[in-house]
Amino acid sequence: MLKQKEILSKLKFSSLLDLALLIPANYDDTTLSEALIAGEEIVALARVENVKKLGDRLQINLFLPKFKRFVSATLFKVTPYHYTVFSVGAELFIKGKLTQFNGFLQLLQPKKITTIDKIIPKYKTTFKNSEILQMIGSLINYENLKKEGLNELEIKTILALHFPKKTDDILPFKTHRNDILKILKTIEAYNHFKKLKGKRVDFPPTVSLNGDVEPFINSLPFQLTDEQQKVINEIRQDLSNSAKAAKRVVIGDVGSGKTIVILASAVMALPRKSILMAPTSLLALQLYEEAVKFLPKSVKIALVMQGNNRGEYKDADFIIGTHALLYKDDLPQIDLVMVDEQHRFGANQRNLLSKLVSQKDKKAHMLQFSATPIPRTQAMMDSALVDVSLITTTPFDKDISTRIISKEDFPFLLSHIRDEIAAHHQVLIVYPLVEKSEQIPYQSIDEARSFWEKNFENVFVTHGKDKEKDEVLLSFREKGDILLATTVVEVGISLPRLTLAVIVGAERLGLATLHQLRGRVGRLGLTSCCYLYTHNKQNDRLVKFAQTASGFDIARLDLEFRNSGDILEGSMQSGQKFRWLDMANDEEIVKNAMMRI
Ligand code: ADP
Ligand code: MG
């Protein structure tokens, strides 16, 4: 028999509560029945009255003394074993499902049982039930659960589920399933926080940063939103901490105004230096331009990209760049590290940047920014490891309507496209593929291109593997009317005149991707439209997507579809797997569990 430790590690259990939450899949209940109820399993003492052989079947008649009733049963595929067990006059305990047929009682598949009045939990693992039973028996008890911090009700529930004494103990799992589930969910969330709490490591900062950000905020041509202000305050607290370096992720929808938060952070770092890494040259350039536009003129800003630098990064207060930064071995002393669109980098790259500028056991403050909204519940779960700020509103109300269209709407779509171009706006059309494919019932860029080029001017084309992607996007931004692309435009480039997006074969994309694409239009509040082109207008996901605007709600919706088994192209982090918790709906439970830590 495997040792407990081995079993626990094979089950990937690292805490006592992991084991406690391995709830039996069902129970083998051999409690003697008090009544004969058709449709239910019964356990009773029986005397064999009569046996008749019919081919390879055995027809038996049993008398149940307790109920003074006869029941009949048919056994299939009988073996010599059955003859000995069911010989006339034999008394035995049997278990089987009772049915009623024309007033006669029948037992389906009666089995002889040797133990009675016991309830044996059945665990669903790859191990023998007896091994799990033994382990649970030796580890799960009142004292141990109490030590883990569970309350009386939780302990009582867990013990009843693992060690039921009578049928009533397991009945609530059927009759009050939701109450029990809620308790299990709470324990699971609590267990999660307990485990993560031990995993979070904090380091002292290289220095505490206290730059005055007020003059910068007052110099802006607009007012910060409440949430931008709130996040800046949280970061202010982080940076001024002299005991531990900041470790925060700021998550905000596309267009929620994260750049200003980045710039404000660079200002709070002054007179010390900060660095910002972005996933593409285009994005780095855009951030650089915004930094130059908004930061005080006295702040020295440098841009570092492969073969294209601006300013001298060794003297700069604020260095902005791509991953080219990771190859610099002569970076100055830097006390604040920021990463924009952090989900586009691997963990290694993000950590490398921080390592480059940290000193031995002291770390630079670290802020990461992400435009991939996650459900609030997930954010809470993550907050045990890293501080999380959410920006859920945008500075101006975005006026984007989403419509699901099909082939028959094409003439209407064309006239809408012409109107937008006439108004000096721009149009984006996203195709599923560059080249023709038999697998996909939609046109590719290659197939559609000539139509657009023949009927419109200033048509630009790019895609993920296009080496000239950045140049194409930059010229399109200046002088294009229509951009044909694959989902590359997902990267947060700002095209302020873009007011119409058409997503071809929309149902093939994950909700997060659709949301990113939709976020490209109406960046500055212009009335905009997102068309989801599909052969299936009734598609439930698309219909719900069209009705939902906030990225945080979309993330929740995405989870709901995933939970319901509708798993699509992975566009959102799959997150942690939970046995009982439903991240889409259990916000309250998670919040309560978090407060117990
Ligand atoms: P994202 O969160 O996607 O990075 P940005 O920082 O690029 O969003 O902001 C989108 C646009 O909104 C930018 O043009 C920015 O200047 C503008 N903006 C940011 N904050 C505000 C605000 N409080 N009021 C008005 N406009 C703002
Ligand atoms: Mg951004």
Residue 84 confidence (pLDDT):
87
Tell me the mean pLDDT in the region 317-346.
Answer: 90
Q: Choose which residue among 218, 222, 285, 342 to substitute to test ligand 1 binding: the one with the highest number of ligand atoms within 8 A of its C-beta.
A: 222
List phi, psi (to 5°) of 539.
Answer: -50, 120
CA distance 244 to 151: 33
**What is the atom index within ligand 1 of the atom nearest the CA of 256?**
2
The region, left, alpha or beta by phi > 0 then psi within -120 to 50, assigned to residue 527 is beta
Q: Choose which residue among 260, 280, 286, 372 to substitute to test ligand 1 binding: the one with the highest number of ligand atoms within 8 A of its C-beta.
A: 260
CA distance 35 to 49: 21
**3 state SS for 199-219:** HCCCCCECCCCCCCCHHHHHH
Q: Where are the beta strands (DSSP E) in 372-518?
A: 387-391, 400-405, 426-430, 459-462, 482-485, 498-504
With a 6 Å cutoff on the Cβ, whether 398 touches ligand 1 is no
Which ligand does the CA of 519 lie closest to? 1
Average pLDDT, the chain: 89
Would the CATH topology of 41-113 be identical to that of 400-548? no
pLDDT-derived band of residue 262, with 50, 70 and 90 as boundaries? very high
CA distance 528 to 495: 13
Give tens-digit pLDDT for 7-55. 999 888 989 999 999 999 888 889 999 999 999 889 999 999 999 988 8
CA distance 94 to 196: 49
- Tell whether the model's pLDDT for residue 330 goes beyond 60: yes
Comparing CA positions, the residue from 96, 91, 113 lying closest to residue 37 is 96
How far is the centre of ligand 1, averaged over its atoms, from the C-alpha of 257 (Å)? 3
Candidate from 116-120, 286-290, 314-318, 376-380 with smallest mean pLDDT: 376-380
Residue 195 confidence (pLDDT):
86
How far is the centre of ligand 2, averaged over its atoms, from the C-alpha of 371 (Å)? 7
With a 6 Å cutoff on the Cβ, whether 101 touches ligand 1 is no
- Residue 224 is given by DSSP the state P
C-beta of residue 512 within 8 angstroms of C-beta of residue 575: no
Residue 172 confidence (pLDDT):
73
Provide the CATH number for the domain formed by 400-548 in this structure.
Answer: 3.40.50.300
pLDDT-derived band of residue 564, with 50, 70 and 90 as boundaries? low
Tell me which H or E stretch contains 555.
helix 551-563
- Tell whether the model's pLDDT for residue 563 goes beyond 70: no
Q: What is the pTM of this model?
A: 0.74
- Tell whether the model's pLDDT for residue 214 goes beyond 90: yes
At 275, is the secondary structure helix, strand, or coil? Answer: strand
- Residue 591 is given by DSSP the state H
Give tens-digit pLDDT for 522-554. 887 889 999 999 999 999 999 999 999 888 889
At 233, is the secondary structure helix, strand, or coil? Answer: helix
How far is the centre of ligand 2, averaged over its atoms, from the C-alpha of 338 (Å)? 12
Chain position carrying tokens 């296009």: 466
**What is the atom index within ligand 1 of the atom nearest the CA of 228?**
23
With a 6 Å cutoff on the Cβ, whether 522 touches ligand 1 is no
With a 6 Å cutoff on the Cβ, whether 225 touches ligand 1 is yes
Comparing CA positions, the residue from 90, 31, 85 lying closest to residue 63 is 90
Residues with CB under 5 A from ligand 2 (ion): 258, 492
∠ CA 212-225-517, nearest 5°, is 120
Candidate from 65-69, 114-118, 215-219 with smallest mean pLDDT: 114-118
Tell me the mean pLDDT in the region 468-472.
Answer: 85
Alpha-carbon torsion, ordered 473, 549, 443, 567, to 10 deg: 120
CA distance 241 to 205: 8
- Tell whether the model's pLDDT for residue 487 goes beyond 90: no
| Strands, sheet with 482-485, edge to edge from the N-terminal-most edge strand | 400-405, 528-533, 498-504, 426-430, 482-485, 459-462
Residue 490 confidence (pLDDT):
56
Provide the CATH number for the domain formed by 41-113 in this structure.
Answer: 2.40.50.140
Tell me the mean pLDDT in the region 59-68.
Answer: 94
CA distance 280 to 490: 12
Comparing CA positions, the residue from 50, 75, 53 lying closest to residue 63 is 50
Residue 519 confidence (pLDDT):
86
∠ CA 63-64-70, nearest 5°, is 45
With a 6 Å cutoff on the Cβ, whether 492 touches ligand 1 is yes
Comparing CA positions, the residue from 346, 362, 382, 403 lying closest to residue 528 is 403
CA distance 69 to 91: 15
Give tens-digit pLDDT for 140-160. 999 999 999 999 999 999 999
**What is the atom index within ligand 1 of the atom nearest the CA of 222?**
24
- Tell whether the model's pLDDT for residue 576 goes beyond 90: no
Which ligand does the CA of 341 lie closest to? 2
Residue 360 confidence (pLDDT):
76
**What is the atom index within ligand 1 of the atom nearest the CA of 258?**
2
Listed by start position, the domains of the chain span: 2-25+121-175, 41-113, 214-391, 400-548
Tell me which H or E stretch contains 249.
strand 247-252
CA distance 404 to 394: 24
CA distance 325 to 376: 33
At 23, is the secondary structure helix, strand, or coil? Answer: coil
Residue positions counted in the chain: 597
CA distance 502 to 257: 25
CA distance 115 to 371: 60
CATH architecture of 214-391: 3-Layer(aba) Sandwich (3.40)
- Tell whether the model's pLDDT for residue 488 goes beyond 80: no
- Tell whether the model's pLDDT for residue 575 goes beyond 70: no
Neighbours of 227 (CB within 10 A): 19
Residue 1 confidence (pLDDT):
54
How far is the centre of ligand 2, averaged over its atoms, from the C-alpha of 287 (Å)? 8
Percent of the chain scoring above 90 in pLDDT: 57
| Residue identifier of the C-alpha nearest atom 12 of ligand 1 | 257
Residue 309 confidence (pLDDT):
83
| Residue identifier of the C-alpha nearest atom 4 of ligand 1 | 258
Residue 566 confidence (pLDDT):
37
List phi, psi (to 5°) of 290.
Answer: -70, -35
Residue 296 confidence (pLDDT):
96
Residue at 325: amino acid letter: L
CA distance 140 to 133: 10
Comparing CA positions, the residue from 357, 333, 263, 355 lying closest to residue 301 is 263
Tell me the mean pLDDT in the region 85-108.
Answer: 91
Chain position carrying tokens 């080029």: 453
Neighbours of 306 (CB within 10 A): 11
How far is the centre of ligand 2, averaged over its atoms, from the C-alpha of 542 (Å)? 26
What string of DSSP letters covers 349-398?
HHHHHHHHH-BTTBB-EEEEEE-----HHHHHHHTTTSEEEEE---SS--
pLDDT-derived band of residue 569, with 50, 70 and 90 as boundaries? very low
Residue 584 confidence (pLDDT):
77
pLDDT-derived band of residue 493, with 50, 70 and 90 as boundaries? low
| Residue identifier of the C-alpha nearest atom 26 of ligand 1 | 395
**What is the atom index within ligand 1 of the atom nearest the CA of 492?**
3
Candidate from 209-213, 276-280, 512-516, 545-549 with smallest mean pLDDT: 512-516
Cα–Cα distances in angstroms (integers) from residue 503 to residues 71, 332, 338, 402, 429, in the given order: 66, 45, 32, 11, 6
Q: Where are the beta strands (DSSP E) in 433-552?
A: 459-462, 482-485, 498-504, 528-533
C-beta of residue 505 within 8 angstroms of C-beta of residue 442: yes
With a 6 Å cutoff on the Cβ, whether 222 touches ligand 1 is yes
List phi, psi (to 5°) of 56.
Answer: -95, 20
